[in-house]
Chains A and B, each alone.
Chain A
Amino acid sequence: MSSDETQAITLTINGAEKTLTVRRSEVLLDALRRASYTSVKHGCRTGDCGACTVLLDGQPVHSCQIRAVQAERHEVTTVEALAYPPQPPLRGGEMPPSASGGAGGVLHPIQQAFIETGAIQCGYCIPARILVAKALLDRNPNPTEEEIREAMAGVLCRCTGYVKIVQAVQRAAAVLRGEKVGPFVPVEATLAPGESPAGLLGRYYEQGQALPLLVISPPEMEPLRVVGKPEPKVDAVRLATGRPVFTDDVKLEGMLYGVLLTSPHAHARIRRIDARPARALPGVHAVLTCHDIPRVKYASGGQSYPQPPPFDQVVLDDKVRHVGDRVAVVAAETPGLAQRALRLIEVEYEVLPHVLDPEEAMQEGAPVIHDEPDTEGIYDVQRNIVHHIYAEVGDAEAQWAKADYIFEGEYRTSQQQQAHIEPHVCITYWDEDGRLVVRTSTQVPFHIRRMLAPLIGLPVKRIRVVKPRIGGGFGNKQEMILEDLCAHLTIATGRPVRMEYTRYQEFASSRSRHPQVMRYKVGVTEEREVVATELYLIGDTGAYGTHGLTVQMVGGQKGLTLYNAPCSKFVCDVVYTNKPTPGAFRGYGSMQCHFGIETLMSEIADKMGWDVVEFKRKNWIKPGEELLLAQALGEGREGFAQVIRSSGLEQCVQVGLEAMGWYNKRGNETWRQGDKGTRRGIGMAVMLHGSGIAGLDMAAATLKMNDDGSFNLLIGATDLGTGSDTILAQMAAEVLGVPVEDIIVYSSDTDFTPFDKGAYASSTTYISGGAVRKAALKVADQIKEHAALMLGVSPPRRGGWGGWELRDRQVFAPDGRSLTLAQVALSSLHQQNQHQIIASASHMSYESPPPFGAQFVEVAVDTETGQVTVERVLMVVDAGRVINPITASGQVEGGLQQAIGFAHCEEMVYDEKGHLVNPRFGPYHVYKANEMPRLEVIFVQTEEPTGPFGAKSVAEVPMDGIAPAMADAIHDATSVWMREVPFTPERVWRAISR
């Protein structure tokens, strides 16, 4: 019997006997998804990510590693089995009653616990994780944290840092044991006037115990009703129950499967490509090559109009510039057939010399990567320099003359992959009106629509882009990766087409973090004042420009304004190489440049014998100061002047020093002595980021009132697992005086939601939040106006509704009378002066207030092997007013996990021919649950006057300081400075051995 032959198997799925017809070679994952068990996810097909986990006879297995026929006569459990059917219809934000809470419960206590603890971010891995938790608790009702982490280690998470996942399992275990659990809330502490935030700590933690999530408020900060509360995510129930909410969870009638042929060469010209044998294969409906698609130049980075040049890409080219570059696409009846067709495409390559090192690429005589005549705007084609950036402020001559000491340091960072668990996936189809619908896992639906139109020859009005739930993006989905290819296949075939990247393609053909070489120079006086800084930066943008310009500009701006010397100079070359293209990745140049400047500042303090904290404190940017390079370095263009209006950096550092016991450990030889030849060290770094792109980012929101006094919130903002739908609902609810469950969120659909530039640049809370707040205020005024009509009260003549208030689902007049919002809604829709209470608002800002933070790391260094173990990480964050402490801390914890990976182990490595040697989760290695250090998060709230409710961003600032804090800690332990990430055992061993 061949592997393609089918057979019927009988098995029990979720308690019911089922018969499935499967191919002999088909894995259980595919058989289950084909049978509509869409909670079973796919992320790698190599047994590394664990997203496909199901229970086979009660034991967790990777369904991608088990053939369906092996499950015959066995019992399979998916997460669909856990929630007790029939599930009632749920509204966004509505929590069904707990299974542990009495009659009518629909959720399993594990699902309930995952929702309550905020353990669900993107939710892609959650069905697998809940099943593992169930298997664990079935065999061990009272597991230790270590046992939970060990069980969870087989399911990778890129969002959460695993903190809340462990808490969820602990909470579920307690509930299942019959114990009572209290509400899952952070510890909130308000400072008394004059009280130091550091002094608070003693109240909340015991020595040696992990700190609880702590939110510290200044004395003058007024608590709000909904904003600031740990509301469960509005999409949490959908995700916990494994409902079909992701791009790939739908099947369309007649859908074809698209696959991509990629280049095996780092640099080559396609001399001949013959698709006829592939096209001749029955069941193949389209094969497209460079000969079939018009040559339209574009840049794939999802950025605002006009995108930064150069437009150095075409959909399919006759030249390939990296291993993994696009060659051809196929659409066929089945994935297997499409793969067979790929193998039949005959390609004759003229292999060209290639260059992988950016410094070599800049040399005269290096292979020219973009020699095509139709790309404009490359700074120096022959030397592969796509951009040369120069920015300078201050009187260099005078400032450098003041410097008593000049320090220089070179720092290098690696190419990190976003490693979101859900791959890029896209489905395109024609709707009944002949409009192209693009259902895609994207962070930028509106940019995709605009960018796609010229490539496929359709006007924007004939394209609709829909973003369902996303299984993580972290910047990698701020690119047009598959949408154009998939759209071309639908246009060519007239059929719905689904395309998805393999995990290999995620590494070789999507985007990653720009590797950088940084040469910093810092001038310091005897008085420990930083008077001048310079940064020369080489940014490796791989084969194409996309985000090459903007990432390096942001890096320069952040790297040189943290200490904001009176004179700063930034010079940068952005260089093409024959490597897979870096793009947007959370941290966006800033984290690389923070590694350089923060490590050099620590090195200076060490060399001079200065207290590192005091030295940094004396020089970091303070409230009221202008970020001197902000105007010169915007994102891809000139920016806008920025002044620091709020900063909790000083308090963050104070709290962190106290929480870590810094002065008892730093330099303490007794504390440094670890077990078995290890030496311990403690390090710290400070950081700033931004909140959106000043003067560029814009978001809009629409709020519409329904008959029952609930509201539809329509937003273009793109929740990629961050919880932005939830916090935006909280903002609307705060203004409208209703609970979050009365706000029904619909987001990210270019036909039905207003414009939003998308989820990037730490902008959603600040920019999209600003739009939601404005729309809500307008709706609130309309409600008051109609209530005045109903109550027979004249509305105020010059606007202003002083004395009117919305709270508890009611509107209160100054005279104390009230109406319910449902009464107002029914009246406005049906009875008096009938009209729809509805408002839209847009928001942009010329400011981008930086969130601040301080990060502290403890490490143990094995001085014989060079292995570094991260033992403890604390981040104290000033994100302005925190809109939701659970989702915000989840953002920080997840960011810390990625930042630790960047500093410690993650690196895309190539052989001499430009092939990746580690394009899998296993050898690449993403931190797992059973190896995470103790992670702690404290918020020090401030009021940012330009932010909605005083908020700033929180998504990216956690990325910035881990690498330099780790370098500082390794130095504290060993006296060696690590100037290249990741800090692998061999690198550390060589540094120590030197």
Chain B
Amino acid sequence: MKDDRVKEMWSIDADAPLQSVLDSPECPPLLRQTLTGTISWQTRDEKPVWRALTSPRVAPQWVAALLGLGATVTVERGDGPDEVPLAVGAGLPRPHALHVPLGGPGRRWGEAHVARTPADEPIVAALAVVEMDGSAVHQARVALTGVWPEPVRLAEAPSRLIGGLLDEERIRAVAEAVEKEVAPKGDFRGSEEYRRAMAGVLTRRALEQCLHQEEESE
């Protein structure tokens, strides 16, 4: 879906290393935040963008952030290059370029996660991006890690925000809906029950950050 409020698109060569994404002055703070902490400098130097997009274990939070931002990729079709929404999972074609919509004046974002330690891979992470049109929500995207084998953008729950105010009551309703929508699988770092509960808590927190965030100046 094309968002007419987006001012411009930042395009990245899919062969570029992840470090070049981080080093770019255009890199939005949400992407910057999700490329540090858990991912080492060495990994960022050696893994190209396409690898992170097709192997979700490389940088799951970053991929979730891209889903939240509504990123698209250029892939080669039989009839030439085609720009399609970013999708994650095995067997998808290798992209040639990644396109990240740069924030419009109404964009707000939030990130929340739980991990064993501060730099451990999150057990569950939630990334929310909300585009505001005045006081109403024009677009809301919530992406999660740790509730599906790969990072996933939830379709249903965040749509409840669209067209209305971004307030705590509606955020709570979305968080509850997210808990119901996710289908996590437990492992040694967190059971299914725990991950489901965290999906709700962290979605709420990520959206609350959007609520309290000053509009991005850029």
Contacts and interface: CB of A to CB of B under 8 A. Distances in A.
B211 interface: no
B114 A985 contact: yes
Interface string B18-46: 01000000000000000011001111011
A751 to B, nearest CB: 41
Contacts of A905: 116-117, 120
B104 interface: no
A66 interface: yes
A867 B42 CA distance: 27
Range, interface on chain B: 20 to 34
B114 A60 contact: no
B213 interface: no
Contacts of B19: 59
Contacts of A989: 194, 197
A92 B201 CA distance: 58
A929 to B, nearest CB: 9
Contacts of B190: 985-986
Interface stretch (A513-521, A527-535, A920-928): A920-928
A705 interface: no
Nearest to A50: B42
Contact of B41 (A154, A864, A918): A154
Interface string A917-956: 1100011010110110000000000000000000000000
A139 to B, nearest CB: 9
A375 interface: no
Contacts of B202: 865
Contacts of A985: 114-116, 123, 190, 194
Pick the most buried of A65, A904, A918, A931: most chain B CB atoms within 10 A of its CB: A931
Interface in A822-866: 862, 864-866
A984 B41 contact: no
A47 interface: yes
Interface in A792-842: none
B119 interface: yes
Interface string B111-141: 0001111111101000000000000000000
Nearest to B204: A864
Interface string B185-207: 00111110010011001100100
B42 A154 contact: yes
A869 B118 contact: yes
A986 to B, nearest CB: 5
A696 interface: no
Contacts of A727: none
B79 to A, nearest CB: 32
A904 B114 contact: no
B178 to A, nearest CB: 15
B201 A865 contact: yes
Nearest to A984: B116
Interface residues of A, number: 41
A905 B189 CA distance: 9
Contacts of B121: 922-923
Pick the most buried of A66, A864, A866, A918: most chain B CB atoms within 10 A of its CB: A864
Contact of A909 (B188, B191, B198): B188
A581 interface: no
B188 A917 contact: yes
Interface in A177-204: none
B116 A930 contact: no
A862 B114 contact: yes
B119 A928 contact: yes
A59 to B, nearest CB: 5
Contacts of B117: 869, 904-905, 925, 927, 931
Contacts of A60: 41-42, 45
Interface in B33-86: 36-37, 40-43, 45-46
A982 B116 CA distance: 10
Contact of A56 (B41, B45, B120, B194): B45
B123 A132 contact: no
Contacts of B37: 150, 153, 930
A931 B118 contact: yes
A469 B101 CA distance: 53
B120 to A, nearest CB: 5
Contacts of A928: 119
B171 to A, nearest CB: 14
B45 A917 contact: no
Nearest to A676: B205
A412 interface: no
B97 to A, nearest CB: 22
Interface string A969-994: 00000000000001011100100000
Pick the most buried of A56, A65, A869, A985: most chain B CB atoms within 10 A of its CB: A985
A62 interface: yes
B114 A154 contact: no
A794 B46 CA distance: 74
A61 B19 CA distance: 11
A917 B45 CA distance: 28
B119 A153 contact: yes
A812 to B, nearest CB: 56
Nearest to A928: B119
Given A50-B40, A151-B41, A905-B120, A61 B46 contact: yes
B42 A53 contact: yes
A103 B139 CA distance: 65
A647 B164 CA distance: 68
Nearest to A58: B45
Interface string A54-70: 00100111100110000
Contact of B119 (A47, A865, A923, A930): A930
Interface string A857-898: 000001011110100000000000000000000000000000
A61 B45 contact: yes
B40 to A, nearest CB: 3
A989 B198 CA distance: 10
Contacts of A930: 37, 118-119
A210 B41 CA distance: 27
A140 B41 CA distance: 14
A917 B190 CA distance: 13
A151 B19 CA distance: 12
A47 B47 CA distance: 11
Contacts of B191: 986
Contacts of A984: 116, 189
Contacts of A676: 205
Contacts of A918: 188
A676 B36 CA distance: 21
A941 B13 CA distance: 60
A917 B186 CA distance: 12
Nearest to B36: A150
A733 B121 CA distance: 48
B120 A62 contact: no
Contacts of B120: 905, 925, 931
B119 A61 contact: no
A986 B194 contact: yes
B161 to A, nearest CB: 21
Contacts of A151: 41
B45 A865 contact: no
Given A931-B119, A989-B197, 12 more contacts: A50-B40, A65-B42, A150-B41, A676-B205, A865-B114, A869-B117, A905-B116, A930-B118, A930-B119, A931-B117, A931-B118, A986-B189
Which 10 pairs, one residue from A and one from B, show the smallest C-beta to C-beta distance? A154-B40, A931-B119, A931-B118, A865-B114, A909-B188, A905-B116, A154-B42, A986-B194, A61-B46, A59-B45
Interface of B: 19, 36-37, 40-43, 45-46, 114-121, 123, 187-191, 194, 197-198, 201-202, 205
Interface of A: 47, 50, 53, 56, 59-62, 65-66, 132, 135, 150-151, 153-154, 676, 862, 864-867, 869, 904-905, 907, 909, 917-918, 922-923, 925, 927-928, 930-931, 982, 984-986, 989
14 contacts: A50-B42, A59-B45, A65-B42, A65-B43, A153-B40, A867-B114, A904-B117, A905-B117, A917-B188, A922-B121, A923-B121, A923-B189, A925-B117, A985-B115
